[in-house]
Amino acid sequence: MQEGLRKLYTGQFNTMSQEHLADGTVTITLSSHADPKVYRFRVKNLYQEDEEVLEDEVIKVVTPAHIKKRMKEAMKDAEKETGETEYQPG
């Protein structure tokens, strides 16, 4: 079983998008906060007995250095404002 399909069936993802194509296949994209990879695959007969993965891609996600720098600056600003050292979604 391909890694992306395994992630789908085990629920090991935070976000999922599906694109239903004219040929009856579905392109699925999965991502997770805990995994630095995005899984994209195209499936024929999804969830059927004759399910078949036609394309399978694993994309490694890398945060660019300039974004890491901005994130660090934002955390410092947040610490000054709130006194907290960890991000607390609100």
Q: Residue 67: which domain range?
A: 3-82
Q: Give the start-end residues of each E strand in 1-90.
A: 15-20, 26-32, 35-44, 52-60
Residue 14 lies in a domain: yes
Host H or E run for residue 76: helix 65-82
Name the domain count of the chain: 1
CB atoms under 10 Å from CB of 4, counted, come to 23
Residue 42 lies in a domain: yes
- Tell me, what's the pLDDT at 14? 94
| Span 22-77, pLDDT tens digits | 999 999 999 998 889 999 999 999 999 999 999 999 999 888 899 889 988 988 88
Q: Cα dihedral sign for 6, 8, 14, 15? A: positive
Residue 87 lies in a domain: no
